[in-house]
Amino acid sequence: MSSPRPRIPEATVARLAVYLRVLAGLADGGRSNVSSGELASAAGVNPAGLRKDLSHLGPCGIRGVGYEVATLRDRIARVLGVERSRPCVLVGIGNLGTALADYAGFGSRGFRFVGLFDAAPARVGQRIGGQPVRPMTELAEVVAATGATIGVVATPADVAQSVCDRLTAAGVRSILNFAPVALSAPDGVDVRQVDLSVELQVLAFLGQQRGTTVEVTA
């Protein structure tokens, strides 16, 4: 009703997550106040842009002083919807999947894996980070029981679409995909793609361009 929340640009949301991480670190370090300049420097962005990002949350700083670390952290966390830990499921417990399941950073950022799944019988039953790997047959059951709305796909490319279908059928609404394929999901389901080799190739291009600024050997 009285929520002045027209919409927050997606690029801003991504940066808010970065600010949140920096603020959490500052709070742990005992800091109570920060200026936009210092925060922007730590996050690697422009100070004016940071203030504009924060303006989407309404006024949350004190002019002449700066921002209160704990207050700003909590407000960003609430806006992002990570004040409470969110249940996620992870499919594909290969090298990357194992790394993700073990990554402690997720736990402190408002996410917890409530189910690890793999199609290979050899993987099922292994324990990773204190959790057992389950067979794919239990996917729908676990999603329903835990209310998980986020699924992470770390499978080979050839089965990623099939896994995506099963996740959405089970009720997952958001998917983070590490497999190098474009997934198609029904309307109402958000898919984000993380492609590691694309990142490397962009770097390769930038590096090459730096070497051959305009000159090209025809």
- Residue list 5-44, contact with DNA (CB under 7 A): 9-12, 34-37
Q: How far is the CB of 63 from a copy of itself (least distance, A)?
A: 26
Binding of a copy of itself by 122 (CB under 8 A): no
**Touching DNA, residues 56-75 (CB under 7 A):** 59-67
Q: Distance (Å, rounded) from C-alpha 145 to C-alpha 36?
A: 43
Beta bridge partners of 117: 91, 134
Number of residues that bind a copy of itself (CB under 8 A): 72
Contact partner, 187, from a copy of itself, DNA, none, Cβ < 5-8 Å per class: none
Alpha helices by DSSP H, listed for the chain, are: 10-28, 36-43, 47-55, 69-80, 95-102, 104-107, 139-146, 157-170, 196-211
Its sign, for the CA torsion 137, 140, 145, 146, is: positive
State which of residues 22, 54, 76, 124 lies at the interface with DNA (CB under 7 A). 54
Per CB under 7 A, 120 contacts DNA: no
Closest distance of CB 40 from DNA, Å: 9
Does 162 bind a copy of itself (CB under 8 A)? Our answer is: no
> Phi, psi at residue 180, to the nearest 5°?
-80, 60
14 or 145: whose CB is closer to DNA? 14
User: Does 1 contact a copy of itself by CB under 8 A?
Assistant: yes
DSSP secondary structure code for residue 59 in this structure: -
Q: Should residue 82 be labelled a site residue for a copy of itself when binding is judged by CB under 8 A? A: yes
Q: Is 98 in the site for a copy of itself (CB under 8 A)?
A: yes
Alpha carbon distances (Å) from 58 to 50, 66, 172: 13, 15, 31
Rounded to whole angstroms, the Cα distance separating 72 from 51 reads 12
129 scored as a contact of DNA (CB under 7 A): no
Q: How far apart are CA 53 and CA 47, in angstroms?
A: 10
Interacting residues with DNA (CB under 7 A): 9-12, 34-37, 45-49, 51-52, 54-55, 59-67
